[in-house]
Structure 1
Amino acid sequence: MEEGLQQFKADFFKALAHPLRIRILELLVDGQKSVNEIQDCLDKEGSAVSQQLSVLRAKNIVYGVKEGKKVYYSLSDPMIGELLGVAKDIFNNHLINTITRLEEMTINESDEENT
């Protein structure tokens, strides 16, 4: 059972492992969007957006609902938005730590020059 869960997690994160897919998901956090709306927001070609939506659909991360000639995409689980928020927080923490280390290095170099 544990192996199945680990495989699911690995496959899930592989599906997220593309900047354009992340950008699509970030757009969908605010609610459903048509393919055209996604393309316009991202200023990307239809084929690129469709290809990435296909990957996300295959992993059940998003789903599409056809209304007339348009397909509207939504997140399959609102917790995906929370996950993206946590990832942003982790990024910010890493950035803060890196800035702090750089500042400490600069202070140490300055102290060495003054002695």
Structure 2
Amino acid sequence: MVPVPLYQVKAEFFRVLGHPVRIRVLELLCEGPMSVRDLLADVGIEASSLSQQLAVLRRHGIVRAHREGSSVVYELAGPDVLDLMRAARRILTELAVGQRALLDDLREAP
């Protein structure tokens, strides 16, 4: 069996993250564990669609689930996921600041 190159494994990991609903779920879970009911209320999609997206995240080890009574509660699989989400926010903030500076320069140009 030929080993899969690390860059391909990383690409697959980021592909898993490349869905708006999954990102929104991760943002919500950054605040702490949440029940499926609460996630549904905040994400605003059909239960079956949310279930599919949660299954993808769970299958790839990004979130984990446990039962609390009759509810299923999801949480981030570990602190590295939280760090990744924070890093993405920092990177996007820096990009936005750079774009704003460019926009300001363009507005000031003759």
Could you say which residue in structure 2 is the equivalent of 1:112? Answer: none
Identity %: 37
- Does residue 68 (structure 1) correspond to residue 73 (structure 2)? The answer is no
- Does residue 42 (structure 1) correspond to residue 46 (structure 2)? The answer is no
Residue 67 (structure 1) shift: 2.8
- Corresponding residue SS for 2:109: helix
8 Å CA contact 1:60–1:76 kept in 2: the answer is yes
Greater helix fraction, Structure 1 or Structure 2: 1
Q: Which runs of 5+ in 1 are unaligned?
A: 110-115
Q: C-alpha root-mean-square deviation of aligned residues, in Å?
A: 1.6
Q: Which runs of 5+ in 2 are unaligned?
A: none
Partner deviation per Cα, 1:45-75 (whole Å, 9 max, x = no partner):
2112111101101101011112332211111
CA distance in 1, matches of 2:27, 2:90: 14
CA distance in 2, matches of 1:2, 1:94: 32
How many residues matched? 108
TM-score by length of 1: 0.85
Bigger Cα Rg: 1
